[in-house]
Each structure stands twice: as structure tokens, then as C-alpha cells.
Structure 1
Amino acid sequence: MTKTPGKMTISFNSDIYSQLLAQHQPQIIKTEEENEKFLETVEELLSRSHLTLEEDALFELLVKLIEDFEDKHYQLNVSTPRSRLKYLIEARSLEQADLVEILSSSEMFTKIINGELEITKEQAEALGKFFHIDASLFLRISDRLF
């Protein structure tokens, strides 16, 4: 805090902020463990009744890092052709053998399920007929346009 005649001004202390950064070492989050560690720090900061300017700056930084990680790794309601196929297989209690003929071979089935290959337009049409749904659900958006 800085005192001026008749006023008190709160000022940001770079040394204190540097100490907080050194203590918590915020960085781009790459693992679930790192995310959990920063979530614990955010929760601890939230439990305090008042944060200093430096703590508030750390809090904002950690929240941004956590949001970036979670946006990348926890996309809600985002489905892909592969995830739709996997869902239908599970929901109907199907086995690989039930789809081998449609997808050409068991190797092709495995590569599609593992995300190594995309579903072709021909396979999408065959899957659409098999499941009695629109074949475009098995295609990426870019493949649907052409």
C-alpha cells in the first residue's frame, strides 16, 4: 500500500508476485496430475476471504491454464464419426465380427476403432444402411461437404 495525503492506494508488488510464481511454478498444463495440482491451489485461494493483488494475479493465471487444459481434454458433447460408431456397437451389443463384412476386414475395423483410419464414404453408406441411420453421421464434416 502506498500512502498519499488523504488516500491509500494499493499497489502491485512484483517481488511478492515473483515469489508466488516461484512457489507454484505455473506452466502450460500437459497432464491430469498437473491439472489437479493447480486446481488444488485455485481452491485454496478461493477459500480465503481476501486475496492480495499478487494472489489474484496468480489465481487468474492458474484459472486460464486450467481452462485451456480442460477445453482441450474435456470437450463435452463433441462426437466424432468414430465415437458414434463405437457408441452404436456398444449400445447394440455388437461384436467385431458383426461389422467385418461392412468394413472390409477385421484389420480395417480395428484401425477405424483405434482412430488410425477414417471411415470412407462407401463404408459410411454401408454403416448407415446397417444401423438404419443417416450415413453422414459416420463422416467428418469436411467429408460431408464434397
Structure 2
Amino acid sequence: MINKTGNKTLGTPKTYLELITSFPPRKITSEEELNRTQNIIDELLDQGNLTPDERDYLHLLGLVVSEYEDQNYPIRDIYGVELLKVLMAELNLQSTDLISIFENETILSDVIAGKQLLTIEHIEKISDFFHVEPSVFLRNV
């Protein structure tokens, strides 16, 4: 079966062997291969209830995609103030929402601007506020 983008679709294969045969998973070496693999993943996910064989095949495709993305789109570790800024943006928070953690706006502004380091007390309060482990704010060495 061909979908509207001109790619082969999986239809509803019932066995792992049929899935592997319809689109053999292999190391992804280009964006085109990544897109084809992602299309197959999307088709499987769109089906809703997957058989155990489909779940296993989906897992395998996910590993192949993950390996390609790890090699080609590495994610830089973030910690400290940079992580604090990301969390604030994700939760749509303003610096005024964190004043209680930093005692006053001047300290908070200095921390956000990189003029002052986070203290252990700040990290403990921030981790409680965001419900994360304090260690996520520390650099992994």
C-alpha cells in the first residue's frame, strides 16, 4: 500500500517477521533515511493498539533513530542558572515568581545575570520548587 506522500505503508502486518521484511531496520546514515524511518514509526503510533510484535518492532526502530540523533544532534548538558532559565521558560514563570527562593530581587537578578553563583541553599529551594533532585543543578564532571 502507498500513502499520500508516496511512501510504502505497513498496512497491518501481524508478525515481527512481516514487519522486519516490510521495512528492514538498519543503521540510519542520512536525513532521508531518518525521515523514512520516522514515517514508519508515526504510522505504527497512529494505529493505536499495537500487538506485542509491533511494539517490539517500534522499539527497535526507536533505538535506530535514537542512535542517529545522538550522533548527529547531541544535546548539550545544562545545569545551574542555565537550567533554571530553561525551567522558568518551560513553566512560563517570571523572575518575580522565584523571589521567595532568593530572598530579594537583587540577588535573583544577579544570579540570573551570572553575576552571582547559586548557593547550596538556593539549589535546595529551587529543587523543592521544581520538584527535581538538587544534583540536576550541578555540573556533571
Q: Sort the TM-score into its range (normalised by shorter chain).
A: 0.3 to 0.5
Q: Scaled by the length of structure 2, what TM-score is found?
A: 0.44
Which structure's residues are more often strand, by fraction? 1
